[in-house]
Chains A and B, each alone.
Chain A
């Protein structure tokens, strides 16, 4: 499955089965809605980066 495409509920169920999590049918339906919502917003995050764009984790006072 393409990570950036919005999966159908059926496709998402297949993925949930491989997640290692004990999920109820209700969990999976809710998680599907959440995942599709996140993926829709994640189009804003660029995928191609120069290596120099690696992020620091901590601000430095002298930065």
Chain B
């Protein structure tokens, strides 16, 4: 691959957007550079299930024609991105990484895909995922497991596994993930990229395979925080076809990512991660120091117990996922991977009373979290206990029984939660933390995250493949 091509695939969305707008590069050159890199290295990490090269080339040529006539549709015009393979795409295979949908070709785009295309984004293809955004990546599924580009013997985290791996490896400029119990933030953390679970209701889920209706969110994963803000600018907005969609005011997230954070008040949930690895503790403490140096006020605050959020979310996911997949686990149980099948079956054993109690507990946790956060703009929390897991068989069926998730609190409360890289451990894996805003205040989250990235060198370090 030429030097010029490798330079193109390490541009951020913001940088590439400026160059495209000034006609210093073309969408076609950018797209060809990514297609060449996918052909050269994706066999090492298996992040793509389907590469839509011809469609991407046509969309890039169209973007170049428009940009040549001075028409710029927005920050993603001419930008190559990819989609977790649970996003329905007109005329393009959408598998959910499952035998059950391995021949499924939708006739309509998901609303998010429609918005991305309308914004001029170039779709490079569909990315590996944990089966139906839930099961582990096991050999009984129709596509190989995505691997962590920092060390391919390790998992990239999930369920948006291919999205995290592809962005970190420079195989797309941004990717769509989904997050029901941490599925954007886990791979973002383990792959050393940025990813935001938006406020529940901000981004349409219409046309995305559901896992748990009352917790599912869709969001972007990118190399930088600013790039996630630019993607969310295109994605956010009311959709009458998603019953959870909110009529929230339009915000310029890209502009927000350049705001000062001087005087911003951040509640630090230190009590949650005292048993994390020394590298993780060190990385988060250093992140706190950087944010204080930038003028933020960071204070330790006590939140409800992490396990309370964790079990609340797990009961809701278990029951709702069972309701969605019940028919198929009855009719074709053998078509699921061995972890996915059991996770979807388990909901049959929970009662209506247990489910409703979990819903009521969720409301209580929302109120208690809001009370603890009073007087603060953001929450700072850990993202992961330590490095990612190595690949091994068999995999745990009910992985969620051993450790509480740092991501789940904000699925339960619905708040926007951003994961970003805060350095590298002694094992060379990325470290990460979360910045969490009030509902619909993604702007403050982006401001703090982007300021942190500009003040640290971590975006200069890429995995080598």
Contacts and interface: CB of A to CB of B under 8 A. Distances in A.
Interface of A: 3, 12, 15-16, 19-23, 27, 30-31, 33-35, 37-38, 41-42, 44-47, 49, 53-61, 63
Contact of B350 (A23, A27, A38, A55): A38
B363 A59 contact: no
B246 A59 contact: yes
22 contacts: A3-B354, A19-B348, A20-B330, A21-B330, A21-B345, A27-B333, A27-B345, A30-B398, A31-B342, A31-B346, A31-B349, A33-B398, A34-B343, A35-B346, A38-B318, A38-B398, A42-B354, A44-B307, A45-B358, A49-B357, A53-B364, A61-B246
B330 A53 contact: no
B246 A38 contact: no
Given A19-B345, A41-B401, A53-B363, 4 more contacts: A38-B398, A46-B361, A58-B244, A61-B248
B357 A41 contact: no
Interface of B is mostly: helix
B72 interface: no
Interface stretch (B125-133, B138-146, B309-317, B446-454): B309-317
Contacts of A33: 397-398
A23 to B, nearest CB: 7
B439 A59 contact: yes
Contacts of A22: 330, 333
Contacts of A60: 246
A47 B397 CA distance: 28
Contact of B201 (A3, A19, A23, A58): A58
Interface in B396-421: 397-398, 401, 414
B307 A15 contact: no
Per CB-CB distance, the 9 closest pairs between chain A and chain B, nearest first, are A55-B363, A37-B401, A34-B398, A41-B311, A59-B439, A61-B248, A19-B348, A55-B359, A59-B414
Contacts of B214: 57
Contacts of A45: 311-312, 315, 354, 357-358, 361
Interface in B282-324: 305, 307-308, 310-312, 314-315, 318
A3 B351 contact: yes
Q: Which of B201, B358, B360: most chain A CB closer than 10 A? A: B360
Interface size bucket, B side?
Answer: 35 or more
B199 interface: yes
B249 interface: yes
Contacts of B363: 53-56
B24 interface: no
Interface in B326-380: 329-330, 333, 341-343, 345-346, 348-351, 353-354, 357-364, 366
Contact of A34 (B200, B246, B401): B401
Contacts of B458: none
A55 B360 contact: yes
A44 B349 contact: no
B315 A38 contact: yes
A42 B346 CA distance: 14
B345 A41 contact: no
B43 interface: no
Nearest to A60: B246
A8 B351 CA distance: 18
A51 to B, nearest CB: 10
Interface in B145-159: none
A36 to B, nearest CB: 9
B459 interface: no
A56 B354 CA distance: 17
A61 B357 CA distance: 25
Contacts of B357: 45-47, 49
Nearest to B341: A27
B68 to A, nearest CB: 39
A61 B49 CA distance: 37
B429 interface: no
Contact of B307 (A21, A41, A58): A41
B342 A27 contact: yes
Contact of B244 (A31, A57, A63): A57
A19 B360 contact: no
Nearest to B441: A61
Contacts of A20: 330, 348
Interface in B167-193: none
Nearest to B362: A55
Nearest to B248: A61
B200 A59 contact: yes
A63 B439 contact: yes
